[in-house]
């Protein structure tokens, strides 16, 4: 689905966010990206959803060179890619049905979008999407009255209404209670499998990545530290990825997986 070759992204002519990155994502794959804050994961996602172009290198989407996308063609390709963000990006004062149907804005003409704001034109589509995420009873409630976890489910329902081929989930559980995080990750995986979607998720939680994804990519300082099956990722891989560049809380999560002797060997190198 994606082929990236020597991708670089530089901001302000000096800040290198991603450097010389090579990556292939197959159709229908489930892949988790992990790594410290500032590693370039969100920048990579913004290039994958064609929000920003690479500074150099080539990015192919389904065999198509992104450098040739513009205007109508760019909008058509973007409709094939759905993104879920940490912030949900919902309109709080609108009813849930309108937020879900906003997933159709890329394919609707302007007149139909305006008409749907007055009276939802595909409420049955929104209802079905909400049924998939378990909150069909919230269809006509104001979005701002929902809990954080429910709002994230509305964002997922909006993506279902869009019906993209690729789902990019950028820290989709960072703003919800940890008890709900695993459920939302599992929901996205189930939806991707049921509807044959390619799923790429950016996660801070190492445990969630190991529990739910067959392939893990470690990103650090804008480069790939490792790209391996989850079963092949070792404590040494994680130490190289995180030690000296993460917070104490995440370090503790990482080293909780390791043998005590390995943790002791790393302690002198930890940055608090």
Strands 2-11 and 166-170 turn out to be unpaired
DSSP 72: H
> What percentage of the chain has pLDDT greater than the value 70?
88
Region 140-145 average pLDDT: 94
DSSP 134: T
Using CB atoms within 10 Å of the CB of residue 34, give its burial: 0 to 12 exposed, 13 to 18 middle, 19+ buried: buried
* pLDDT band, very low/low/confident/very high, at 197 (cuts 50, 70, 90): very high
pLDDT score, position 87:
78
CA Rg, the chain, in Å? 20
Structure-block tokens of residue 107:
């394919």
Q: Is the dihedral of CA 110, 111, 114, 117 positive or negative?
A: negative
Question: Which has more confidence, 121 or 79?
Answer: 79
* pLDDT band, very low/low/confident/very high, at 247 (cuts 50, 70, 90): very low
Structure-block tokens of residue 39:
């590693």
Domain chopping of the chain, boundaries? 87-163, 235-272
Q: Return the half-sphere exposure (C-beta side, CA atoms, 13 A cut-off) of residue 176.
A: 24
Question: Could you give the CA distance from residue 239 to residue 261 in angstroms, rounded to a whole number?
Answer: 13
Structure-block tokens of residue 256:
């909780």
Predicted TM-score (pTM) of the model is 0.81
> What percentage of the chain has pLDDT greater than the value 90?
53
Task: Tell me which residue of 170, 144, 88, 149 sits closest to 102, measured CA to CA.
Answer: 88
For 148-174, write each residue's pLDDT tens digit. Answer: 889 988 998 998 889 999 999 998 887
Pick the range with the lowest mean pLDDT from 74-88, 114-128, 231-245: 114-128
The pLDDT mean for the chain works out to 85
Task: Tell me which residue of 183, 121, 116, 125 sits closest to 153, measured CA to CA.
Answer: 183
């Amino acid at each position: 689905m994606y082929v990236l070759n020597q991708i670089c992204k530089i901001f302000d002519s000096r800040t290198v966010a991603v450097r010389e990155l090579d990556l292939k994502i197959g159709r229908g794959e489930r892949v988790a990206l992990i790594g410290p804050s500032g590693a370039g994961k969100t920048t990579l996602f913004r290039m994958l959803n064609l929000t920003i172009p690479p500074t150099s290198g080539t990015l192919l989407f389904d065999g198509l060179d992104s450098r040739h996308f513009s205007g109508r063609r760019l909008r058509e390709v973007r409709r094939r890619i759905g993104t879920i963000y940490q912030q949900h990006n919902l309109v709080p004062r609108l009813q849930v049905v309108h937020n879900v149907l906003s997933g159709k804005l890329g394919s609707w003409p302007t007149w139909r979008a305006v008409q749907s704001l007055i009276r939802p034109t595909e409420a049955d589509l929104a209802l079905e999407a909400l049924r998939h995420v378990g909150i069909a009873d919230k269809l006509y409630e104001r979005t701002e009255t929902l809990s954080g976890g429910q709002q994230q489910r509305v964002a997922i329902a909006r993506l279902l209404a869009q019906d993209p081929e690729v789902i990019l989930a950028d820290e989709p559980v960072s703003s919800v209670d940890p008890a709900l995080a695993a459920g939302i990750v599992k929901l996205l995986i189930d939806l991707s499998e049921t509807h044959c979607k390619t799923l790429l998720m950016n996660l801070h939680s190492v445990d969630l990545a190991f529990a739910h994804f067959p392939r893990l990519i470690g990103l650090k300082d804008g480069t790939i530290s490792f790209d391996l099956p989850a079963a092949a990722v070792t404590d040494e891989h994680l130490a190289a990825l995180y030690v000296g560049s993460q917070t104490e809380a995440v370090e503790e999560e990482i080293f909780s997986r390791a043998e005590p002797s390995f943790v002791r060997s790393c302690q002198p190198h930890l940055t608090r």
